[in-house]
Amino acid sequence: MSSTFSIRKMQSSDRIAVAGLICLSTSAWYESHFGLRRFIGGPRTTEVYYDVYHSLPGSSGIVAIDDYSETVVGSCFLHVRPTHVALGIMNVHPSYAGKGIASAMLKDIIETAELLKKPLHLVSSAMNLDSFSLYNRAGFTPYCLYQDMRFQVPEEGYSASLPEAAQVRAAQAGDLQGIFELERRITGLERAQDYKHFIENPERIWSVSVLENPNGKGLAGVLCSVCCEATHIIGPGCAVDAGAAKALLLTQLNQYPGRSPIVLIPCECRELRDFAYALGGKNVEIHFAQSRGEIPQFKGLTFPTFLPETL
C-alpha cells in the first residue's frame, strides 16, 4: 500500500522532528553526492533553523505528515516580506523520496505567494538537478549565479589592506533606515525586519557590518554573517560596487580568525572573484537565485545566505 501524507502549518511541537529531518535529509544528500558530512553535531545543532524562522517577523513553516505513522516526513520554511515571499530550506525524508512530497509543499507555498500577489524567490543548488527540475517545472527562472567559496581565515587574520575598509564599522540600530534605503536602491527588495533582528542579535549568532559613504551621506554597503554549530556563512548583504563589497567581505572574514566560513560570491563580478581567490577562497558549490514572478534588477552586488535563506 502506497503511503499518503498531509500538509499543514508547522507547530511548536514539530521543532525537534523538523530539526532531525533537516539533519538527516541534508546530510544524506551531501554524503551521497560529495562524500561530505554535514551537521556532524546532530539534530541538536539544526534546531536553530526552526528557532530563527519562527522568530523573524513574517516567517513560518509547513510540514508533510505521513498519514499512517503521523510522523514529519517533509518540511519547508517561508518568509513573507513587503516586496516578495522567500522560500527557505526544504527537506524530505530520504525514505519518502519520489512520493511527491516536495512538489506538494512547493504548491502550498506558491499558492500563498499567489494569494498575496507577490513574486516567490529562492536560492537553490545548481548541482542538485532534482531540486532544479522541481523549481523549473513550477515556473521559477534562474537570474543570478553564485559560487560558494570556503575560506580558511588565518589565525592572525588577513593582512590585505583596502582603502574602503576604514569606512566599515559594526551596524547599530540607528543604521536600519540607511540599510533599508540602500537595499531598496540596489535590489528593489525590502526586509528591514530581518536586519533589525540581526542587529539586535537575540540568538547571539549574528554580526552586521556597514560601509559608510566617504562623503558621509548614507551607506555604500551592508554585510551580515551567522556563526553557530549548524552553519557559518557570510551574508546576506549588498554593496554599490566591487570596492565596497571587498571591504565588507574582508572585515567580516577577519572577525573569524582560524575559522572556515562560506561566502556566496556573485559570479558576474570578476574583481570580487579575483579578490576572493587571492584570499585563498576555494569553490565548493554553485547556487542560482531564482524567481517565480517578477525578476529583480540589481544595481549593485548581492550576497545571499541560507539562514534565513534569502538574497
Give residue 2's pLDDT band: very low, low, confident or very high (50, 70, 90): low
Question: Crossing angle of helices 192-200/176-187, nearest 10°?
Answer: 140
Going by C-alpha positions, the residue among 145, 20, 12, 33 that lies closest to residue 72 is 20
CA 245-194-240 angle, 5° bins: 20
* pLDDT value at 52 more than 50: yes
How far, rounded to the nearest angstrom, does the alpha carbon of residue 273 sit from its chain's CA centroid? 19
What is the C-alpha to C-alpha distance for residues 174 and 152, in angstroms, rounded to an integer?
33
Mind giving me the DSSP string for 238-265?
A: EESSHHHHHHHHHHHHTTSTT---EEEE
pLDDT score of 230 more than 70: yes
1 pLDDT band, cuts 50/70/90, is very low
For the chain, the domains span 5-118, 147-310
Place of cell 530520504: 94
Question: What DSSP character marks residue 164?
Answer: G
- Tens-place pLDDT, residues 111-140: 999 999 999 999 999 988 999 999 999 999
pLDDT in tens, 252-304: 999 999 999 999 999 999 999 999 999 999 999 999 999 999 999 999 999 99
Average pLDDT over residues 208-219: 90
How many Å apart are CA 304 and CA 148, to the nearest integer? 10
Distances (CA, A) of 310 to 17, 140, 244: 24, 15, 21
- 147-310 topology per CATH: Aminopeptidase (3.40.630)
Is 5-118 a domain of CATH 3.40.50.720?
A: no
3-class DSSP state of 180: helix
| Polymer length in residues for the chain | 311
Summary mean pLDDT of the chain: 95
The answer, yes or no, to whether residue 145 has pLDDT greater than 90, is yes
Helix (H/G/I), strand (E/B), else coil: 119 = coil
Task: Report residue 303 as a C-alpha cell.
Answer: 550576497
Would you state the cell numbers that stand for residue 226, as one nine-digit string?
Answer: 551567522
The two counts, helices (H) then strands (E), for the chain are 8, 15
d(CA 203, CA 293): 33
Question: Mapping DSSP to helix (H, G, I), strand (E, B) and coil, where does residue 150 land?
Answer: strand
Distance CA 98, CA 257 (A): 43
212 within 8 A of 244, measured Cβ to Cβ: no
Distance CA 75, CA 173 (A): 33
Helix (H) or strand (E) holding 272: helix 270-278
